[in-house]
Amino acid sequence: MTNEGPLQVTARTAFISGASRGIGLACARALAETGVHVVLAARDAAKLEQASSAIPNSRWVTLDLASADSIKEAFAKAGKVDILVNNAAVTRDNLALRMKKDDWDAVINTNLTGAFLATQQVLHGMMKARWGRIINISSVVGEAGNPGQANYVASKAGLIGLTKSLAQEMASRNITVNAVAPGFIDTDMTAALPQELKDNMLAHIPLKRFGRPEDVAAAVRFLASEEAGYITGAVLNVNGGMYM
């Protein structure tokens, strides 16, 4: 783990998974701009180091959400976490008829079980501090469904259910738990999709543009703030109106 700049004792600390690129990196930047100390987590150490070097007062830890041991080790290195953003996710797309169990397990274990185990790592500290923010990055497909993504959709819908249950469990300790459900966001992952598919998606977005990682990060920044202290168990859609 590396440390960029002096740690501010009074600042809150945010842990963001999947933070080496895309939405996770945008969330790290947005939170850092508010004075929050950020810990970037992902599997690729080289990308993490590069990303962290451009964010003042940030650190990074390697994290594989498919491994319970990796999760424990990452949070042990991170220390006290006030804000958790469960963003990391994988896809293994196929029609349900052809989907292999290994592909189902890989997506559920990382996207849902991994987020749950990560959340467990921060709950005691947040309860002791009587303050915390947990923000789960779900997806529009977790609300609307999507053919060929039964495993991914199930994991993202599961995150919404997890959000609502945890919100009820943690509210008495001043810990809010919310979800953000992005629509089609323009990242390096979506850039590789066929143009025909992207054109079809665009036709179903009332705002007539794809989202930016910064659009999602702005929602996360709000939910992590003091101003959002009376919001819990909510799903904030950031989808340009493609699902209402």
* Phi-psi label, residue 60: left if phi above 0, alpha if psi -120 to 50, beta otherwise: beta
- The C-alpha atoms of residue 58 and residue 40 are separated, in whole angstroms, by 7
Q: Name the residues annotated as catalytic.
A: 152
Q: What is the pLDDT of residue 11?
A: 86
Q: What is the pLDDT of residue 46?
A: 98
For residue 190, give every residue at least 6 positions away whose Cβ sits within 8 Å of its Cβ, in sequence order, or none.
184, 198, 210
- Cβ pair 48, 25 in contact under 8 A: no
Instruction: Give the residue ranges of the chain where pLDDT is below 50.
Output: 2-9
Q: What is the pLDDT of residue 140?
A: 97
- The domains of the chain, with CATH numbers, are 2-238 (3.40.50.720)
pLDDT tens string 20-76: 999 999 999 999 999 999 999 999 999 999 999 999 989 999 999 999 999 999 999
Q: What is the pLDDT of residue 6?
A: 38
Q: What is the pLDDT of residue 197?
A: 86
Q: What is the pLDDT of residue 10?
A: 53
For residue 138, give every residue at least 6 positions away whose Cβ sits within 8 Å of its Cβ, in sequence order, or none.
156, 157, 159, 160, 163, 179, 180, 181, 182, 235
